[in-house]
A and B are shown apart, each in its own frame.
Chain A
Amino acid sequence: EDQVTQSPEALRLQEGESSSLNCSYTVSGLRGLFWYRQDPGKGPEFLFTLYSAGEEKEKERLKATLTKKESFLHITAPKPEDSATYLCAVRGVTNAGKSTFGDGTTLTVKP
């Protein structure tokens, strides 16, 4: 069974204070690891897909990296508008195309 664990559960940063969010996973044959951003009362918004260990993707202040056991979402010099819940999900070859989600990390960036 695929599993995803995200840490920390909540993270409070000052504006400009860089940090990282962790996503540890176990999956039988990784098809893809996905990062999403979810604002309160909204559906998740797709950020990145990573397919193989060593891969990195960047978008503005966000950078996602992947190893065989975990993924990190690095946030450089965050701004208050980066405050949201960040969800990690994996999809494996044996799970009929379904995604398994972690519980998310709620990020709060104070001005």
Chain B
Amino acid sequence: GAVVSQHPSRVICKSGTSVKIECRSLDFQATTMFWYRQFPKKSLMLMATSNEGSKATYEQGVEKDKFLINHASLTLSTLTVTSAHPEDSSFYICSARASTGLLSYNSPLHFGNGTRLTVT
């Protein structure tokens, strides 16, 4: 149980174009999803918290107009990298907790398999 599906797994785009990444919880409902960015040999950097039916909460230093997050349903969150540039090339990973409410604070994260974005 607690499967998170993320796609595409790899995408190459030209500088200036936009890319959408989808994150789905397959067998549970996720009121909250998290988007991370991971640099080589480094840990996960939280970009934003995606909340179903409301605006995402962005971490300090993350441009909300560049990284658009939409959480339209309890099973789907999307991250759109707008006007991508080579410095946006990275590994993006989404995650969710399978439980909700107060119990969710003690629950582990379940991750998608990530999206390798290359901007040329």
Chain A residues at the B interface, C-beta cutoff of 8 Å:
31-32, 34, 36, 41-46, 49, 51, 87, 89, 91, 93, 96-99, 101-104, 106
Contact = CB atoms under 8 A, between A and B. Distances in A.
B105 A43 contact: no
9 contacts: A32-B106, A41-B91, A41-B116, A43-B93, A43-B112, A44-B111, A93-B105, A97-B32, A104-B43
Contact of A31 (B32, B43, B44, B105): B105
A43 B32 CA distance: 18
Interface residues of B, number: 25
Contacts of B73: none
Contacts, number: 62
A99 B109 contact: yes
B95 A43 contact: yes
Interface of B: 4, 6, 32, 34, 41-44, 46, 49, 91, 93, 95, 104-114, 116
Contacts of B42: 103
Contacts of B116: 41
Given A42-B113, A103-B43, A31 B106 contact: yes
Nearest to B57: A96
A44 B32 CA distance: 18
A93 B42 CA distance: 25
- Which of B95, B108, B109 has most A Cβ within 10 Å? B108
Contacts of A93: 105
Contacts of A104: 43
B43 A97 contact: no
B113 A43 contact: yes
Contacts of B91: 41
A52 to B, nearest CB: 11
